Amino acid sequence: MHIKLLGSGQEVGKSCVVVKEGKSSLMLDCGVKLYPEPPTYPRVEDVDALILSHAHLDHSGAVPLLYRKNKLPAFMNDVTFELAMLLIKDSMKVAKKQGYGTPFGKKDVKRLVKATKIVNYYKKFSVSGLKCSLYPSGHIPGSGSVMIHGSKKVFYTSDIQTIESHLLNPCVLPPKADVLIIESTYSYKNHPKRDLEEKKLVAAVEEALAREEVALIPVFAVGRAQEILLILHDYANKISLDGMAKTASDIIMSYPRYLKDSNKLKKVLRKVKFVRSEKDREDALKRNPIIISSAGMLGGGPAINYLRRIRKRPESKVLFCGFLVEESPGRNLIETKIFKTAEEQFDVHCDLRQFELSAHADRNSLFKIIEKTKPETVICVHGEHCEDFAKEIAEQFGINAFAPRDGETVRV
């Protein structure tokens, strides 16, 4: 069995892993790396089928590349399909607006839609002689880790979280895997206690409200927006929900079985103000000043519109609650207090803060995943510290651990 990385080798983004055994070949995810701009895509290869773990663009954004020539089946669950279509189509619009374009077109997306096969968690399906199944990964609604049964049991965590959130239950792990392909986003650090981070976020929001100022919370539309809504449920009538987060929330609510408590989210969504026009944005700043809006790294979306309006108000707050990729506008803003894109640049005088409410497993949790699955071989992907992590795994567990670069193959 051979495992080849086409993307996510020693970096976050562009996830794309190929598993080969005999004449069978299976691709796990096919994502784009958005930063630094322009976006970069994996060099895809011919395979028998694709399994998409979840909808985030760094895992799904390059999938249409496979359909320029091929008609291979694409396996995913129903909510992942809808959310991925939402994000992929939006990414095409953004890329066109920015002048980059995408290496695929609308016809390729249509071929992907026709090729999609819906599978449920734990339901085994066959791909060219390999038996596969999805396990809940606890990352976003519908996210899954992939188990492959060939000559060896291969478990691909994709993005995974071992603790419960307000939105989701924690991941489910198999009792045993021969080969573990593990995400390594936070392999170098542990998260602070989640309840304390949530209290800090609530306190910052309360501080803004007490001063009759705005609390702008840029969010990833899928997963993070809904989690923040649940954390701030007591302030729902002060919340404005804008951008793709509105549409993503509608899709997610159509699939309540993927959520820990869908009724609680439904109650919050009934109370928040949905922003649908420019006039709504003006009103939101005065009447519903907790602004939850995409995009999470300020790479686009209405969040930038709000930032322009409040940038000179030192008592207004910009509150980041997710991972900020190096060289993203959000990361640069936190580090320099300057918002900068290819189109514009301006100083921001607001109170800028970042809270660690990650949907990724931290260092201790990643080690626990290894302990529970008892692999003989570990392949570290999707992280900026993969090499160090692989060395630590080899030393601590006495097993083979690798941190391949893009284009490299590990034989297991």
Contact 124, 323 (CB under 8 A): no
Tokens 């699939």 found at: 255
Q: What is the pLDDT of residue 303?
A: 96
Measuring CA to CA, which residue among 296, 21, 322 is closest to residue 159? Answer: 322
Summarised one tens digit per residue, pLDDT across range 285-331 is 999 999 999 999 998 899 999 999 999 999 999 999 988 888 899 99
Domains of the chain: 2-189+359-411 (3.60.15.10), 194-354 (3.40.50.10890)
265 neighbors 253 (Cβ within 8 angstroms): yes
State residue 310's pLDDT score: 97
Return the pLDDT at 59.
98
- C-alpha span between 246 and 250 (Å, rounded): 6
pLDDT at residue 326, rounded to an integer: 82
- If phi > 0 it is left, if psi is from -120 to 50 it is alpha, else beta; for residue 43 that is beta
Residue ranges of the chain with pLDDT lower than 50? none
Cβ neighbors of 162 (< 8 A, separation 6 or more) are: 138, 170, 171, 361, 365, 368, 369
Structural contact between residues 350 and 248, judged by C-beta atoms closer than 8 angstroms: no
Residue 142: closest CA among 88, 183, 81, 89: 81
pLDDT of residue 324: 87
Residue identified by tokens 């919340």 is 239
What are the backbone dihedrals phi and psi of residue 226, each rounded to the nearest 5 degrees, phi first?
-70, -35
- Asked if 77 and 120 touch (Cβ cutoff 8 Å), the reply is yes
| Residue closest to 145 by CA, chosen among 76, 208, 238, 215 | 76
Q: Return the exposure string of 186-209: e unless at least 16 CB atoms fall within 10 Å of the residue's CB, then b.
A: bbeeebeebeebbebbeebbeebe
CA 304, 309, 311, 314 dihedral sign is negative
The pLDDT value given to residue 253: 97
Give residue 357's Cα distance to chain centre: 13
